[in-house]
Amino acid sequence: MQVASQTTLQDSPTADETAFSRQSLLGLNLEEVEEIVTSQGLPRFRARQLWRRVWRHGQTDFGDMTELGKDARDKLSAVCQADRPMITNRQTSKDGTIKWLIRCDDGQEAEMVYIPEDDRGTLCISSQIGCTLTCSFCHTGTQRLVRNLTAAEITGQVLLAMDELGDWPAGKEERRLTNIVLMGMGEPLYNYESVKKALSLIMWGEGLGLSKRRVTLSTSGIVPEIEKCGDELGVNLAISLHAVHDELRNELVPINRKYDLKTLIDCVRRYPVLSNARRVTWEYVMIKGVNDSPEDARRLVKLIKGIPSKINLIPFNKWPGSDYECSSDEAIDAFAKIVMKAGYASPVRKPRGQDILAACGQLKSESVRLRKSQMAALQQAAK
Ligand code: SAH
Ligand code: SF4
């Protein structure tokens, strides 16, 4: 397998040194932008104009915001900015998947991935650099948490992707980015306040106006925050289940020791927005000889009985250093058949962007990225 294309971009114009001292507008709500505007002695209505330039038109250069007038442009450009994170690497897979490595102001790096499909284009974004949880099958889990991403860094990923995909002005009909999933690096519910603020801006009608039905948050199962997320954001929920017995889940998804299967499933049962039209997704990574028996499949459908659900069987993506293997095609088929017989449709997730290591659990930052030789071995294995 060959990587379709790759570019390394070290001198992105967003690497503006002065950005360090100017406040980012990307994590602020309209009231907060109004405070900045009035603190500069400018009339309040300038805030809404500035807001529209940033959120509806994707403008980053104050010089282009002619509607604001020269005085406002000069004053505002001295104290705030709408810069994106810097792109340090862009890879495009043969199947159209794009992966960007992005660098924050403090040099920390995260990844985001765009996955085009016939009826949608999904952007997978990160919520943390690394992860504090140590799920045994997850590559990101081997990297210790470096820090939470700020709200501006989370929205910045989405705005940057829109720049890259040519999706401005926001809300245009033929846009390429239609859905967002928080399935990149990190546990979004361990960075809840920033995730909440970022998603509110993305979903607000005067922000990007993306419907909450088009946003999915994936969690390993932080029960108290799942409840808050349902009440306060109402986005779609995906649960990283991966095991149907506590003993095994304690090993695969160690947060299970704190919130066990019963507590988690009871909490999902109460998730406010669930209906047949908006079902919870149960993510289940298929690991050979570990969690892939017919007995596991039967217990899975029993556990979630009565909850409007989709089941997503994810072939385990092997990474160097992991002892796990992906289940055989036969085991996946047999598992899927049991699940389908119980009424859940087409449950196997097709791996995407494998040639650029963009698949689930393979997102990882530059400091610990795979060496070329490891990458070659992995690509060989994937043939
Ligand atoms: N922390 C959140 C979101 C990020 S992980 C969570 O755990 O849900 C996104 C998804 O990728 C999760 O379902 C995760 O279990 C899955 N995943 C992680 N490593 C994987 C691997 N090696 N192969 C397949 N799926 C993996
Ligand atoms: Fe963290 Fe999710 Fe990976 Fe677990 S699966 S280590 S929660 S990113």
Q: Specify the residue with its C-alpha closest to ligand 2, atom 6.
A: 141
Q: How far apart are CA 368 and CA 142, in angstroms?
A: 10
Checking if the pLDDT of 379 tops 50, the result is: no
* Measured CA angle at 347 (ends 341, 353), to 5 deg: 160
C-alpha Rg value of the chain to the nearest Å: 22
From 183, 255, 292, 352, mutation site for ligand 1 pocket: most ligand atoms within 8 A of C-beta: 183
109-116 and 80-81 as β-strands: parallel, antiparallel, unpaired? Answer: unpaired
| Catalytic hit among 34, 109, 111, 187 | 111
Pairing of strands 109-116, 121-124: antiparallel
Measuring from atom 4 of ligand 2, which residue has the nearest CA?
A: 135
- The C-alpha atoms of residue 25 and residue 30 are separated, in whole angstroms, by 10
CA quadruple 6, 12, 17, 20: dihedral sign: negative
The yes-or-no verdict on residue 7 having pLDDT over 60 is: no
Helix (H, G, I), strand (E, B) or coil at 24: strand
**Segment 104-126 mean pLDDT:** 92
pLDDT of 5 strictly over 70: no
User: What does the pLDDT average to over 239-261?
Assistant: 98
Q: Is 360 a catalytic residue?
A: yes
Q: Please say if the pLDDT value at position 15 is more than 50.
A: no
Q: Provide mean pLDDT across the span 28-38.
A: 97
Contact 126, 363 (CB under 8 A): yes
Q: What CA–CA distance (Å, rounded) separates 334 from 329?
A: 9
Does the annotation mark 131 as catalytic? no
- What is the distance in A from the centroid of ligand 1 to the CA of 138? 6
Q: Are 137 and 9 in contact (CB under 8 A)?
A: no
DSSP symbol at 348: B
Q: Give yes or no for a contact between 355 and 4, defined as CB atoms under 8 angstroms apart.
A: yes
Inform me whether the pLDDT recorded for 191 exceeds 60. Answer: yes
How much is the pLDDT for 314?
Answer: 92
Strands (E), the chain: 5-8, 23-24, 80-81, 86-92, 98-103, 109-116, 121-124, 128-129, 147-148, 179-182, 215-219, 236-240, 280-286, 309-315
Indicate whether 99 pLDDT > 70: yes
Listing DSSP states for 158-175 in one string gives HHHHHHHHT-PSTT-TT-
The residues lining ligand 2, judged by C-beta closer than 6 Å to any ligand atom, are 131, 133-135, 138, 140-141, 186-187, 220, 240, 361
Is residue 382 pLDDT above 50, yes or no? no
pLDDT at 307: 96
Cα distance from N-terminal residue to C-terminal residue, the chain: 6
* Beta bridge partners of residue 7, listed in sequence order: 90
Give the pLDDT mean for 308-333. Answer: 93
Q: For residue 230, give the H/E element and its range.
A: helix 223-232
Task: Name the closest-CA residue to atom 1, ligand 1.
Answer: 187
Mind listing the domains of the chain with CATH numbers? Answer: 17-81 (1.10.150.530), 86-382 (3.20.20.70)
Q: What is the DSSP letter of 279?
A: P
The pLDDT of residue 305 is above 60: yes
- Is 274 in contact with 307 (CB distance < 8 Å)? yes
Mean pLDDT of the chain: 88
